[in-house]
Amino acid sequence: MSGGPLDVVGIGNAIVDVLSHADDEFLVREGLVKGSMALIDTVRAEALYDSMGPAIEVSGGSAANTVAGLAGFGGRAGFVGRVRDDQLGAVFAHDLRALGVEFDVAPATEGPPTGRCLILVTPDAQRTLNTYLGAGAALGPDDVDEAQVACAQITYLEGYLWDPPAAKEAFRKASAVAHASGRKIAFSLSDSFCVGRWREEFVHLAEHEIDVLFANEDEIRSLYQANSFDDALRHVRGHCETAALTRSEKGSVIVSGDEIHVIDPEPVASVVDTTGAGDLYAAGFLFGLARGLDLFTCGRLGSIAASEVISHMGARPEISLAELAKRKLGEIA
Amino acid sequence: MSGGPLDVVGIGNAIVDVLSHADDEFLVREGLVKGSMALIDTVRAEALYDSMGPAIEVSGGSAANTVAGLAGFGGRAGFVGRVRDDQLGAVFAHDLRALGVEFDVAPATEGPPTGRCLILVTPDAQRTLNTYLGAGAALGPDDVDEAQVACAQITYLEGYLWDPPAAKEAFRKASAVAHASGRKIAFSLSDSFCVGRWREEFVHLAEHEIDVLFANEDEIRSLYQANSFDDALRHVRGHCETAALTRSEKGSVIVSGDEIHVIDPEPVASVVDTTGAGDLYAAGFLFGLARGLDLFTCGRLGSIAASEVISHMGARPEISLAELAKRKLGEIA
């Protein structure tokens, strides 16, 4: 641990996003399922990149986007994930550190290159993700700093961690340390296909390990194989301490014991790219939670952060979220 | 030469742009002159990157942006410039080829990494460039394919080529081949400081070698050390076959022998980042010229392309310029 105690430490796959516009025909031709995340290997990553249009590169990774957003609110954040000592690894580390996020995992000096996510943004602003985990796949329990987790208010982990082999051990270590220190574990279901791959384990986690669960409508319905959002809500209520459920243009719903909040989305002039919407919602919510704010305000902060990130390409905020929140809510924390 | 004859072949520094927001105080603190381009070495590049905020990476390079824009209009374009066999080099090559631009220079397997330009975008949408030439500095006459230049309607070169040592020999070779084949040479003055470094040579080039000169107001005034735009106009008129002079929100002026056109800028809802405005003006202008359109229409195409690129971060168009031009002007070529 290099600094003082953190509001949130995020653990996830270190990824640089490669964003390109594409039409629906491109997705069909490449066999891609719109709105989903697919894991791809080196050969597929190269072939898909070759067929993609020109792109921009922006640091990404679900939990990394969340801690970047948290820092944008003025929160103290750290990140745990693995890059290589290559140009994209340097970009990833720079972008986190430039925001003041603690990122102390040394880059690998051999093995696969820094992970990347080939993202196709369709004209409806939906994003279709193709993730090559690269160096990120080596993440394991040794990367988790016990002192950092023990001192952080909240440790936040992405569901995508269930895909690389050793990362769930990192989750288990972090969860044990956090709970032994009276801290909270937050978790994102990440993607409905990811939920499909790990449903039983995720249901068990929600019930027994997770203090704050983030999911969008597709993910929470997939988790409980529910026919409707309302049905999923009924399942999660009482089976997870706090759940924050995002519903795109319908806003979000927060349940925590008997408490429930139905929160409107923030208005957005033009939705350009929904990449990072869920990650940034989590950023605002967790910032509020770490600062002891009520759940309604936590949800509003989440909505405000999400509204900023969907108004441009890329999954990291382009303006100060602290100032944006102040403009919308007044002084908050 | 790998394909058929080209509308335009661009020769320039192969650069990946690293774009970040910064305030005016940051520029002062780092000793940067707003709106200018400074050449930086490895040590300075690393120090400046460390002090910059989070960034996005987008392929850039002045002449490369121009041929990318030309391809966006449906033109046949090629590019000559040097990258290394690293991740940023792969990004640069991908982004050009994905647009259909011919790019056949093999990446260097040793030596400095792919060049990059650290760009600070201030709240007034001005950009301040800090260029690390890297592998691009090795560009020389051997990289110029005589057959490609002899067959291209126009060979376009950036003034920045005067900075690396061997690149002006590439210019001289290209100019000799093009003129021997009855083709045109177009040239951009690039930057007023670049003009300051090479004024005498550039004045000579304008008079004797260049068929189409691109310059913004600062650059053309610097070239002739003129007190006013009108004074600069008087100097260039009759001393260069055709000059296209861009004036930001004041539009552009084209002079060619006795002919003169004063062209309004295209309206832009919100100017986000002026990086690439001049490069894209050149793209539209050269596309029109290669297709035999009148100079007024060439200028309008330039304005249309510039208006697109200043409405978002980065120096490459994000939408089809062919469709944009069709919407604004009807079928043109």
**Fold adopted by A8-14+62-103+139-329:** UDP-N-acetylmuramoyl-L-alanine:D-glutamate ligase (3.40.1190)
A203 vs A85: CA distance, rounded Å: 37
Query: 3-class SS at A43?
Result: helix
* Cα atoms found within 13 Å of the Cα of residue B198, Cβ hemisphere only: 22
Instruction: Write out the DSSP string of B59-120.
Output: EE-HHHHHHHHHHHTT--EEEE---BSSHHHHHHHHHHHHTT-EE-PPPBSSSSPPEEEEEE
Closest partner residue to A53 (CB to CB) among B54, B98, B312 is B98
Question: For residue B12, which of B62, B57, B78 has the smallest C-alpha distance?
Answer: B62
- Between vectors from CA A36 to CA A32 and to CA A38, what angle results, nearest 5°? 65
Check residue A282 and give its pLDDT: 98
Check residue B303 and give its pLDDT: 97
Instruction: Write out the DSSP string of B294-309.
Output: -HHHHHHHHHHHHHHH
Check residue B165 and give its pLDDT: 80
- Between vectors from CA B56 to CA B9 and to CA A120, what angle results, nearest 5°? 80
**Tally of CB atoms within 10 A around A3:** 12
Per-residue pLDDT, averaged over B217-239, amounts to 94
Mean pLDDT of the residues in chain B: 94
Closest partner residue to A57 (CB to CB) among B91, B312, B318 is B91
Q: Across the interface, do A50 and B91 touch by the CB < 8 Å criterion? A: no
Per-residue pLDDT, averaged over B220-237, amounts to 95
User: Chain A contacts of B121, Cβ < 8 Å?
Assistant: none
Q: What share of chain A is helix, strand, coil (3-state, %, to 5)?
A: 45, 20, 35
A207 vs A202: CA distance, rounded Å: 9
ipTM of the complex: 0.84
In chain A, where do the E strands start and end? 8-11, 15-21, 37-39, 56-60, 77-80, 102-103, 115-121, 127-132, 154-158, 184-188, 212-216, 242-246, 252-256, 259-263
Chain A residue closest in CA terms to B93: A54
The structure tokens 């940067």 sit at: B32
Return the H-helix or E-strand segment holding B320. Answer: none
Residue B197 reports pLDDT greater than 60: yes
Return the H-helix or E-strand segment holding B246. Answer: strand B242-246
Query: How close B59 gets to chain A, by Cα (Å)?
Result: 8
Pairs of CB atoms within 8 A across A/B: 66
Chain B residue closest in CA terms to A71: B54
To test the contact with chain A by mutation, choose from B91, B97, B119, B280 the residue with the greatest count of A C-beta atoms within 10 A, namely B91
**Fold adopted by B8-13+61-111+134-329:** UDP-N-acetylmuramoyl-L-alanine:D-glutamate ligase (3.40.1190)
pLDDT band at B2 (very low <50, low <70, confident <90, very high): low
User: Chain A contacts of B94, Cβ < 8 Å?
Assistant: 49-50, 52, 54-55
Q: Across the interface, do B58 and A59 touch by the CB < 8 Å criterion? A: no
Question: For residue A220, which of A207, A205, A203, A204 has the smallest C-alpha distance?
Answer: A203
B206 vs B189: CA distance, rounded Å: 10
B18 vs B313: CA distance, rounded Å: 11
pTM: 0.90
Taking any CB pair shorter than 8 Å as contact, residues of chain B touching chain A are 20-21, 49-50, 52-59, 68, 86-88, 91, 94-96, 98-99, 113-114, 312-314, 316, 318
Check residue B332 and give its pLDDT: 64
Question: For residue A248, which of A124, A118, A117, A71 has the smallest C-alpha distance?
Answer: A124
Q: Are B158 and B286 in contact (CB under 8 A)?
A: no
Residue B1 reports pLDDT greater than 50: no
Q: Across the interface, do A55 and B94 touch by the CB < 8 Å criterion? A: yes
Question: For residue A14, which of A185, A101, A139 has the smallest C-alpha distance?
Answer: A139
Q: A3 pairs with which residues across the strands? A: none
Residue B283 reports pLDDT greater than 80: yes
B237 vs B43: CA distance, rounded Å: 43
Check residue A273 and give its pLDDT: 87
Check residue B133 and give its pLDDT: 95
Residue B265 reports pLDDT greater than 90: yes
Closest partner residue to B57 (CB to CB) among A21, A91, A313 is A91
Residue type, B147: A
Query: 3-class SS at A7?
Result: coil
Provide the residue-wise pLDDT of chain A in tens; the chain has 333 residues: 456 789 999 999 999 999 999 999 999 999 999 988 899 999 999 999 999 999 999 999 999 999 999 999 999 999 999 999 999 999 999 999 999 999 999 999 999 999 999 999 999 989 999 999 999 999 999 999 999 999 999 999 999 999 888 899 999 999 999 999 999 999 999 999 899 999 999 999 999 999 999 999 999 999 999 999 999 999 999 899 999 999 999 999 999 999 999 999 999 988 988 989 999 999 999 999 999 999 999 999 999 999 999 998 889 998 899 999 999 998 765
Q: Across the interface, do A54 and B316 touch by the CB < 8 Å criterion? A: yes
Residue-wise pLDDT for B100-157, tens only, equals 999 999 999 999 999 999 999 999 989 999 999 999 999 999 999 999 999 999 999 9
To test the contact with chain B by mutation, choose from A87, A316, A318 the residue with the greatest count of B C-beta atoms within 10 A, namely A87
Instruction: Write out the DSSP string of A178-216.
Output: HHHTT-EEEEE---HHHHHHSHHHHHHHHHHT-SEEEEE
A293 vs A316: CA distance, rounded Å: 23
Check residue A1 and give its pLDDT: 43
Q: A78 pairs with which residues across the strands? A: A9, A102
pLDDT band at B333 (very low <50, low <70, confident <90, very high): low
Instruction: Write out the DSSP string of A289-327.
Output: HHTT--HHHHHHHHHHHHHHHTTSSSSS-SS-HHHHHHH
